[in-house]
Amino acid sequence: MRVVIAEDNALLREGLVLLIRSSGHEVAAVAETGPEIVPTLLEQRPDVAVIDVRMPPGFRDEGLRAAIEARKRIPDLPVLVLSQYVEQTYAAELLAAGARGVGYLLKDRVSRITEFLDALQRVAEGGTALDPEVVSQLMNRHRQIDPLTAREREVLQLMAEGRDNATIAAMLVVTERAVHKHIGNIFRKLGLPATDSGHRRVLAVLAYLNS
């Protein structure tokens, strides 16, 4: 697949390019500053964009703003945002316009190469990839009045990270059937129809986060 990278730090940019090329994907273009991002994406129309939150000239959240802007101009453009630190506000802003094809990961995750490439692939295919830390921060906001049980929250958390049922079952050391049951309960409690499609899963996460 074709990837556009927006990252100002030369070393990291080089690392990302190396990583993506080594796994057989194509780096279509790189953007080194915030203002370059949207035009580059409009021109390249990549399968997925990897964007650093903090970019020059302001070194604030130029990358995030560009990601949101780009998704307005190119609906459902898969975007994987990398951040120096977890900021749930950023994730929430990014998810506000829909969670299809959205990823938000800590930069540190890049070094877990297989996982990072999985996340990139998932996002490119319209899934989500939220950093476990982002998810747990977002989930923590909801501790007080919570319709979900602890186990259901765990399942939802893993769903939010973008895992499929088999992976969730393996990670929680339960059967897939049990996972399926939990997901059904989650959908019911959040008032969503019980058909388990990828899109519903995303909706569930959003419904929970916004509840």
Footprint on this chain of other proteins (rule: CB under 8 A): 9, 11-12, 14-16, 18-19, 22, 54, 59, 84-85, 107-108, 110-114
Least Cβ distance, residue 107 to other proteins (angstroms): 5
DSSP 200: H
Least Cβ distance, residue 179 to other proteins (angstroms): 29
Nearer to other proteins, 58 or 75 (CB): 58
Nearer to other proteins, 92 or 106 (CB): 106
Least Cβ distance, residue 84 to other proteins (angstroms): 4
Is the Cβ–Cβ distance between 119 and 78 less than 8 Å?
Answer: no
Least Cβ distance, residue 3 to other proteins (angstroms): 15
Least Cβ distance, residue 157 to other proteins (angstroms): 24
Q: Which two tokens stand for residue 142?
A: 């909801």
Q: Which two tokens stand for residue 183?
A: 């997901």
Judging by beta carbons within 10 Å of its beta carbon (0-12, 13-18, 19+), is residue 56 exposed, middle or buried? middle
Residue in this structure with the two tokens 């989930």, named with its chain if needed? 139
> Which residues sit opposite 187 in a β-bridge?
none
Nearer to other proteins, 19 or 139 (CB): 19
Query: What is the C-alpha to C-alpha distance for residues 92 and 190, in angstroms, rounded to an integer?
Result: 19
Nearer to other proteins, 12 or 29 (CB): 12
Query: What is the C-alpha to C-alpha distance for residues 154 and 174, in angstroms, rounded to an integer?
Result: 12
Nearer to other proteins, 21 or 199 (CB): 21
